[in-house]
Amino acid sequence: MKRVLALLFFVFIPFSAQAQVTPFSTWVNSRGSVLSVWFVDPATGSFTGTYVNNAAGFSCKGVPYQAIGVTKGTAVTFTVNWKGFGVPDCKSTTVWRGQAVGPTMRTRWVLDYIGSDGKPHRMYGTDTFIRR
């Protein structure tokens, strides 16, 4: 009996703990913004890709910015620094943290930016992404 339980543990647990964010996956949130994951390091869970903001009321729309993150099991964290080569410098950074379960990733985000007054500001929000 112990052998059977041990076998079940080693067979089924790895599948339930596998990362939900995989290479060449695309995630779209309710605002129409798109996270495209290009590479995931299977040893560390680190991933890279692009993020295109399409949210109304925010600048730097329609341009792909580098996204970097990490995933472990269902936990996901990724960051977009809204500047780069050949793209507008929006003087801001957003960090998303959440859980990806099946085709759904629910996150909370923090946006740090320099306002029109030249001072740092912070906004908070939530996003739900669906895998396409």
Please determine, for residue 97, whether its predicted confidence score (pLDDT) is greater than 50.
Answer: yes
117 DSSP β-pair partners: none
Average pLDDT, stretch 119-130?
97
Residue written as tokens 């913004």?
33
State residue 15's pLDDT score: 37
pLDDT tier at 75, thresholds 50, 70, 90: very high
Would you place residue 12 in the very low, low, confident or very high pLDDT band (cuts 50, 70, 90)?
A: very low
Does the pLDDT of residue 17 top 70, yes or no?
no
Domain 19-131: state its class.
Answer: mainly beta
Is the predicted pLDDT of residue 3 greater than 60, yes or no? no
* pLDDT at residue 59, as a whole number: 84
Q: How confident is the model at residue 84 (pLDDT cuts 50, 70, 90)?
A: confident
Which two tokens mark 94? 């957003």
